[in-house]
Chains A and B, each alone.
Chain A
Amino acid sequence: MGVEFIYPEFEVVRNYDRCIACRVCERQCANEVHFYSEERGVMISDEAKCVDCQRCVSLCPTRALKIVKSDSTLRENANWQNDTIKEIYKQANSGGVLLSSMGNPKPLPVYWDKILINASQVTNPPIDPLREPMETQVFLGKKPSRIERGKDGKIKCELPPQIALSLPVMFSAMSYGSISYNAHASLARAATELGILYNTGEGGLHEDFYKYGKNTVVQVASGRFGVHEDYLNAGAAIEIKMGQGAKPGIGGHLPGAKIVGDVSRTRMIPERSDAISPAPHHDIYSIEDLRQLVFSLKEATQYKKPVIVKVAAVHNIAAIASGIARSGADVIAIDGFRGGTGAAPTRIRDNVGIPVELALAAVDKRLRDEGIRGNVSLVVGGSIRSAADVIKAVALGADACYVATAALLALGCHLCRTCQSGKCNWGIATQRPDLVKRLNPDIGSARLVNLMTAWRHEIMEIMGGMGINSIEALRGNRLMLRGVGLNEKELEILGISHAGE
């Protein structure tokens, strides 16, 4: 107490008329908010520990619980908002960098929500996906720029390595360590069933998951954790992670507490040692170094695996992408400033980077202006929330989308944004065995499959409405988009017209 006191952010509201004191809330809360008072014979709570993950609310059999935002308030001030003041108190207490998890929650523009989609009327028939074929398959990778024929006149049909996806979505990188074994198992199994790919992140690939290799992107990040020859050859593609939307320009840090057992073995580092990924790759200080790494990885895999280069969306992303497109990479992944993270410095998460919508539009245009769009495929992530976002991204020019937060939500995440604590009550962002087991991959993978199946249906419906029966005819088809409430400059960058035009 005293000057450092910050009133709890949430209140636990317990309806005592309903509470049967079954103590499920107590048993399920890793933050130890709830406990049973023998003296009073009722459940009580310490809301100061509550992170609003909704686990107790979800499991309470009599709906006796709800968590509400505390209304204990500081005097209102548009400049000095509550959160700002509390962050100052926290820093004055600790002297430390503030840490946060998941994506940027600030009220910055979400361009997806200011873009609307077209549909056919009269002059062109909409297509009913229940009656007509509707194709959502995509192939990621370099496309040859010239058709070549053999002496017999037949076309030579050898393609550079491609990634085949049944729909233009992949699960983006989340390392084993930052998320649990069961979360990885759920993602791997769902990706396999769906015919898409999931991504190991930079934590290596657990030996149990090599069997899902055809549906796995193996990542090589600046820490090079868990990277070895078998690992590189295990996946369908290799991703070089240069940056992450939630924390452009900085590396990663998985605390030693999470480097236990299999996590330590998979990362190939000692137990309990902090896993620190440096900000740069120390063998890549420039674009020509990137080219060397791309080709080193290709050599190590006999040129059979496409190489993805993942970068955070930053100011000069178009020029960066143009450089990558000429580096030998097969796919560029762009991660927008709303992308999630298991832990990032709050200030960086909330203030560094640019929206992925603008980055995508700028990159797609730049690559076309330079005539090298066919050199690479474009994958975008950083808060793709729905099938509509996927459609808009593809129409702006993306080949596919990376989805992570939505996938975690399907697994149970309630976006309490405290992954960094390691006490995820949903068994996702934790390595505590009693918590990890809360995520049964039978349920998790089925829910992921459900989510993506639903998205696929929606994508097909929307495409059909536009009179398009194959996703490739939507890619870069910006005439299918209109902006609402955007200024001239924003429309110019997005390369779309305003609604009504």
Chain B
Amino acid sequence: MRIPSGCAIAAVISRTGRRMTGGAIMEAMKPMHDRSNGLGGGFAGYGIYPDYKDFYAFHMFFDCRDTRKKCEAFLKESFEVVKGELIPTRKMPEITDEPIIWRYFVTPLRSVLADLQLDEKEFVARTVMKINVEMNGAYVFSSGKNMGTFKAVGFPEDVGVFYRLDEYEGYSWTAHGRYPTNTPGWWGGAHPFTLLDYSVVHNGEISSYDANRRYIEMFGYKCTLQTDTEVITYILDYLIRRQGLTLTEAASVIAAPFWSTIENTTNSYEKEKLRYLRTVFPSLLITGPFSIVLGFDGGLMALNDRLKLRSMVVGEKDDRVFIASEEAAIRVMEPDAEKIWAPSGGEPVIVTLKEGAF
């Protein structure tokens, strides 16, 4: 089942690694209120857990105490859990029906990894998949190091207040307001979608969804979230982490240039590479309208579908770079933003921290 949706996205990053509270990004979502319909909002912040930066931060929803206990026991079988706590929230009338929201800071046991002959990230990813697919009532919605996702059913600006994001500080933030045309009203369905430190906020509806899903599921991913954004997260994880592609190369797979453009590429290695990637990963081409912001450890990547069927603008001011569905959102974050431009379809905008900045 896939639920089509429209949406608003926004993001900000400080290239020098300066930490910003979640306040600005929450403000940015306000002028785009009409792009959401109150059925989902969410944020991802990077660099927010400096004290636990060597541990995977699992943000989780549970339907009841029992599930949480069961899940905790399961985690302890193969992870060292250094901390487990309720994620602090504010009670407010705009946000209701909340599940139990916890976070665990964990690291896989060396002995388990050695037994399974898996690298750490792969094991963490598989554990997340396992919980999300097999453990009824438990759901991991964030699993990276020194980053976290916060999402709920509601308007994004309310979701930010609910999660007290003004009390967190990070070097980059992404945000999403959702306009699903049909929804089970489920918290897990809000963006960002994450796996390890990759988080994706997405405005659009991808027409290639089932082709992408059925391909990526061959490699151990399971799409359980009833929305097409999830598959983008897994595709990027597969291409970048597992196949070792660069961000630009991954962008040229999911928003591949047209064959005619490839044939007209003058740089011969570039041409050969584009042709190769498109031939090897035809099923990972994403069609239909999308603008996405991929958050990862140390940066952001913004990307539009190759026809540019969704709006997305980028602006800068000093060390900060802003990305949003509308310029208004950028102006809220920084009234004096400069160099506002709309990247072309399929052209990735990659912003990374200066070396050693964070």
Contact = CB atoms under 8 A, between A and B. Distances in A.
Nearest to B305: A469
A68 B239 CA distance: 62
A397 to B, nearest CB: 8
A144 B279 CA distance: 10
Interface string B196-218: 00000000110111111011011
Interface string A100-128: 00000000000000000000101111010
B126 interface: no
A132 B277 CA distance: 23
Contact of A123 (B5, B258, B282): B5
Residue of B204, B244, B286 most packed against chain A (CB within 10 A): B244
Interface stretch (A196-204, A346-354, A415-423, A475-483): A475-483
Q: How large is the interface on A (under 10, 10 to 19, 20 to 34, 35 or more residues)?
A: 35 or more
A386 interface: no
A134 to B, nearest CB: 10
A473 B244 contact: no
B279 A467 contact: no
Given A123-B181, A135-B259, A476 B280 contact: no
Contacts of A475: 211, 282-283
A140 B98 CA distance: 50
Interface stretch (B105-113, B268-276, B330-338): B268-276
Nearest to B3: A123
A154 interface: yes
Looking at chain A's contact residues, the main secondary structure is: loop
A466 B244 CA distance: 32
A477 B211 CA distance: 4
Contact of B285 (A155, A470, A476): A470
Nearest to A137: B259
Given A147-B244, A368-B217, A478 B210 contact: yes
A147 B211 contact: no
Contacts of A124: 4, 204-205, 207, 288-289
Contact of B279 (A122, A159, A473, A480): A159
B309 interface: yes
A143 interface: yes
Contact of A466 (B207, B243, B259): B207
Interface string A452-490: 000000000000001111101111111110000000000
Contacts of A138: 282
Residue of B217, B259, B277, B280 most packed against chain A (CB within 10 A): B280
A162 B279 contact: yes
Contact of B258 (A133, A155, A473, A478): A133
Given A124-B288, A147-B245, A469-B307, A159 B4 contact: no
Nearest to A148: B244
A231 interface: no
Contact of A476 (B181, B214, B259, B276): B214
B287 A147 contact: no
B218 A368 contact: yes
A127 B2 CA distance: 21
Interface of B: 2, 4-6, 181, 204-205, 207-212, 214-215, 217-219, 243-245, 249, 256, 258-260, 269, 272-273, 275-277, 279-283, 285-289, 306-307, 309
Interface of A: 120, 122-125, 127, 132-133, 135, 137-139, 143-144, 146-147, 149, 154-155, 157, 159, 162, 368, 371, 373-374, 397, 466-470, 472-480
Given A124-B4, A469-B307, 16 more contacts: A120-B288, A123-B181, A123-B205, A143-B280, A143-B282, A154-B273, A155-B249, A157-B276, A159-B276, A371-B218, A397-B214, A469-B287, A473-B287, A476-B210, A476-B283, A477-B214
